[in-house]
Structure 1
Amino acid sequence: MESVKPVQPSVNSSYLPNLHDEQSATEDEEGENHSPSESLLPKHTSTPLAVRYSPEDSYNLVYIIFFLMGIGSLLPWNFFITARDYWIYKLSNSSDHSGQQHSDISDNFESYLSVASTVPSVLCLILNYFLVNRLSADVRILSSLVVILLVFLVTTVFVKVDLSEHNMGFFIGTLASVVIISGASNIFYGSVFGISGYFPMKISQALISGQAMGGTLSAVASIVSLSVVKDVTDNALAYFLIADVFILLCIVSYLLLPKLAYSRHYMLAAACVGPGTMSEGQGAAAVPPLQLIIKKAWVLGLSVFYVFFISILVFPAVSSGIQSVNNSNSPWTNKYFIPVTSFLVYNFADFCGRQSTAWVQVPGPTSRVLPVLVLCRSFLVPLFMFCNYQPRDHLHSVLFNNDVYPVVFNCLLGLSNGYLGTLPMIYGPKVVPRELAEATGVVMSFFLMLGLAIGSAFSVLLVHSI
């Protein structure tokens, strides 16, 4: 297997190397007497025969499927947060078709949405960690997709139901739906990334690119539906139907994956270290040494935490509340300003930031410049606060009184989130022993979700302080 290049850990994913060269085989022989706690998955010293001959990815079908999976991992969340006009209308007074009657719930819905989506995600990430060696990836991925589809179908049905007299009940039901979707999406997210670790790096990159594209796709879908459909409920109906179809497409695509020779080739190696092997070899799932992982990667973990803490603190809770300073009744001011300047600009900038790490990886994993750059993102918070965010109850001064400012600030927020958030995720599995790479990916994901959870809670306070 000397002709096969080692695959590096994938961005934002759990990774388990499955290709063995002479050095790794020697390490395996030397580590036969290691305790089970030193590795998340058992080592094996032989590579399946099928892995020695790599088939072609015909028509890049496997690449496309993982790209779709990446989009699907963030699509539900992005579709919920970008349907802002619908939530304002539904949570204010559905009988008032002007949609101008607001309430505390509708004005601060993004903050509540962030809390409801990120807090359960942390718990489900821990649950997924323990399910890795107990349930197959197929069960976890397909069941989570089915749950997401069912909840989205219910959300789609309620679009045309008049709930003006049950605003609080609809609000609670919506948050409950977000909790379920976020939990299922997190299990789906971690499971798909685990599978991608058995494939070449280009497949992991497809997953990363798709994940970054999910937000951009949802923003574009929102803008298109706004331009085509005039009524707010018809717009939301078309919007959520797009999500339903796309989730169904993810299910069909994943069912197609085992039928492709290219995927069967690499998943054969994955089967050798699957849950069955673990249970037969050890009787119980091994627990990775968290103390060693934290010792090696705590700076990177805190960097990931703070990057996403700052991002969720202002996006979408504050950024989506920044309105145009022009008082005209033009479509740009009333309809397209927030979807374009907040959601589309941020998500596309985030996509560019993540993609740039494929070519530029500076500063390095041990550089002190990386955490300094991460801390420098703090200055973005007051910049958003003094844009034309509405309503303003405490900070009445608007220092950045021009529509170009939120565009620039969202670009900076998205680019820095994509670049500085991805670098530590890449570096984390590289600074630990090879057998701890997958466990380190899970720990880094935990830091990410913890930053989102705490940041979303503080976003509620930030919104009420403006």
Structure 2
Amino acid sequence: MNETLGRGYARIDAIRAARGEPPASGSDPAGPPPDRYNSVYITLFVAGAAFLLPFNSFIMAVDYFQHHYPNSTIMFDMSTVYIASACVAVVVNNLVLDIFSNNTRITFGILVSLSTMLFVAVCNIGWDGFSPRASYTITLVAIGVVAVGCTVQQASYYGFTGSLPPRYTQAVMVGESAAGFWVSIDRILTKYTFKQPRRSTFMFFVFSILILLGHSMLHHMMMRHPLVLHYLRLTRESRHKRRILLHLNPSQDNAVESQDGESSYGVLKLQSPAPSSGLGDAETKTFGFSNPVYSPTSSAPAQPPATPPLDAEDSPGVLRTPRPSYKVEDVVHPTERHASWSAFKRGVAARWMVGRAIYPYMVSIGLVYFTTLSLYPGIASEVPSCRLGTWMPIVLMSAFNFFDFVGKIAVAYPYEWSRSQLLMASGVRLLLVPLMLLCAAPRHSPHIVGDEYPIFFSVVLGFSNGLFGSVPMIMAPSRVSREHREIAGNMMTLSYNGGLLSGSLVSYLLLGILGPPTEPPCRVYPTPPLPTIPTTSTTLASNVTQMILSMH
């Protein structure tokens, strides 16, 4: 306390303790409210599925789009348009991070995604009144708009869950994989049930829209949950705490200066009582309950009793030298300043500092999704099969989505991944690019023949994507302070989208290696000639047969 008073600072929590008030809300000794029935976890799981559901719905309708737009690069175009729009959206989301709240940005993303999916399902698939060229353009524009809504949700949710315990970030990432797994099952069922391609695709989109509606209701219920409100309050308080510089001049009690810091402080007033002795000092040293007295030599604030004790020093006849005492005169809360150039520079500096702390995780997740988007969905949709035909891309994508889901569940296994391990694993995954490419190139005669090889590569690609695409996203926010966790979540999403964009661009180069589309190279192997019976043997057998018949 001596050092604190020497600098002219007094902690507000010490003042509250002296007054008998509960501690500040930032330090809650009782802990966070319980997540009864795991309702917050389940809602974030559904949210992770919902903001990737539109993209997965477009991709899993690969058979319809390839049939509707023959001899086109529709799968590559949809992937690239989605990722490019997503990168723009995540940059804009980082810029408006301090302008709009998380709830506002998420609600905006839900409305954009839902309205676009409704338009595509009703007008472009159900009605289908546009020309093929116009329909192709509408499909690409729609997926670009959907990307904006989905990415705003995704970046906002990762920033939001950065303020919660790590298990809730894992809930979002498992939900992302569940989106691919769900649309895979949905597409198989609708394709098998409805033989007409347009009708099956329309029902496929309808089921996705119903999930988006359910997610919208669950989200707004979750934002009123006590657990969510608790952690949002902690994050808000840690971000807006200020330090108040106090001038210990009694004539300038109101002269205070606000600085960045970690604690709140109050204005002190220096009082120098006149020298006296005996019980007469009680009136001078007794202050109101709202203004606790601080002694320069005490180690903790204390409320002085109304009647001072009589001891050896306070007994009559003993001369005591008066000492100045301090009391809290006022508590000043600094006001928020409007956005300015200095605030923008502070935001850039904060992002640079966070980036330096988490750059291994940013590189790792960028490499993981670079490899994935180089192969999925573009090259995976080009692998031919004579036995499966149009079912082959659906099988490969379903295998990827299912094991991606398994990989994200495997993240719950208690293993501490180091930064070097994550970087090495994401680098080794690059070997899957030439392996999968050899299953489709060249088109007239792929080097790796057989349906089991591309399915196995899709399984490995999906599992590693789920595992090593989740661990960096979960670990990165824990490497920075609480007030910077939302920034860390958004920067990880930026790196994630950078890997997606670069991978989708590389997929065009791989498409050039494949060459122009051709019919599936179904090889017809000649049947070997059967062994023939010599002529003499045939004659002998016929004679024996005639003799047997004549005997009868």
Band the TM-score falls in, shorter-chain normalisation: 0.7 to 0.9
State the Cα distance separating 1:198 from its structure 2 match. 3.4
Q: Distance in 1 between matches of 2:352 and 2:482?
A: 16
The runs of at least 4 consecutive aligned structure 1 residues that moved more than 6 Å come to 273-279
State the Cα distance separating 1:336 from its structure 2 match. 3.6
Residue type matched to 1:358 in 2? A
Residue type matched to 2:39 in 1? L
- Cα distance 1:435–1:149, how it changes in 2: closer, same or farther (>3 A)? closer
State the Cα distance separating 1:255 from its structure 2 match. 2.1
Residue type matched to 1:64 in 2? I
Residue pairs, 1:264-283, within 5 angstroms: 264-270=229-235, 272=237, 280-283=335-338
SS of the equivalent of 2:116 reads: helix
Q: Distance in 1 between matches of 2:416 and 2:166?
A: 20
Which structure is higher in helix share? Answer: 1
Q: Does 1:371 align with 2:426?
A: no
Q: Which deviations, in whole Å up to 9, do the C-alpha atoms of 1:79-134 show, x marking residues without a partner?
A: 1100011112322xxxxxxxxxx22x2xx211111110111111111111122211
Q: 1:90·1:163 contact (CA, 8 Å) conserved in 2?
A: no
Residue pairs, 1:137-152, within 5 angstroms: 137-152=102-117
Task: Report what 2:347 is aligned to.
Answer: 287
Residue pairs, 1:309-324, within 5 angstroms: 309-324=370-385
- Cα distance 1:53–1:415, how it changes in 2: closer, same or farther (>3 A)? closer
Q: 1:115·1:457 contact (CA, 8 Å) conserved in 2?
A: yes
Task: Report what 1:95 is aligned to.
Answer: none
**2:394 is matched with which residue: 329, 339, 353?**
339
Task: Report what 2:306 is aligned to.
Answer: none
State the Cα distance separating 1:439 from its structure 2 match. 2.4
CA radius of gyration, larger in: 2
- Cα distance 1:280–1:395, how it changes in 2: closer, same or farther (>3 A)? farther
SS of the equivalent of 1:406 reads: helix
- Cα distance 1:199–1:168, how it changes in 2: closer, same or farther (>3 A)? same
Which structure is higher in strand share? Answer: 2
Count, aligned residues: 397
Q: Does 1:355 align with 2:409?
A: yes
Q: 1:322·1:338 contact (CA, 8 Å) conserved in 2?
A: yes
Show structure 2 runs of 5+ residues with no match: 1-8, 12-22, 243-259, 261-333, 515-552
Task: Report what 2:125 is aligned to.
Answer: 159
Residue pairs, 1:45-60, within 5 angstroms: 46-48=24-26, 52=30, 54-60=32-38
Residue pairs, 1:215-230, within 5 angstroms: 215-230=180-195
Normalized against structure 1, the TM-score is what?
A: 0.78
Q: 2:64·2:197 contact (CA, 8 Å) conserved in 1?
A: yes
Residue identity over aligned pairs, in percent, reads 24
Show structure 1 runs of 5+ residues with no match: 1-29, 33-44, 92-101, 327-332
SS of the equivalent of 1:281 reads: coil
CA RMSD across the alignment: 2.9
State the Cα distance separating 1:351 from its structure 2 match. 1.7
Q: 1:395·1:465 contact (CA, 8 Å) conserved in 2?
A: no
State the Cα distance separating 1:276 from its structure 2 match. 13
Q: 2:163·2:485 contact (CA, 8 Å) conserved in 1?
A: no
Q: Which deviations, in whole Å up to 9, do the C-alpha atoms of 1:398-451 show, x marking residues without a partner?
A: 222111111110011112222222233334334455654432332222111011
Task: Report what 2:58 is aligned to.
Answer: 80
Task: Report what 1:451 is aligned to.
Answer: 499
State the Cα distance separating 1:220 from its structure 2 match. 1.0
Q: 1:51·1:269 contact (CA, 8 Å) conserved in 2?
A: no
Residue pairs, 1:405-444, within 5 angstroms: 405-432=453-480, 435-444=483-492
Q: Which deviations, in whole Å up to 9, do the C-alpha atoms of 1:28-59 show, x marking residues without a partner?
A: xx9x9xxxxxxxxxxxx943588845443333
Q: Distance in 2 between matches of 1:60 and 1:296?
A: 32
Residue pairs, 1:104-183, within 5 angstroms: 105=72, 108-157=73-122, 158-163=124-129, 166-183=131-148
State the Cα distance separating 1:301 from its structure 2 match. 2.1
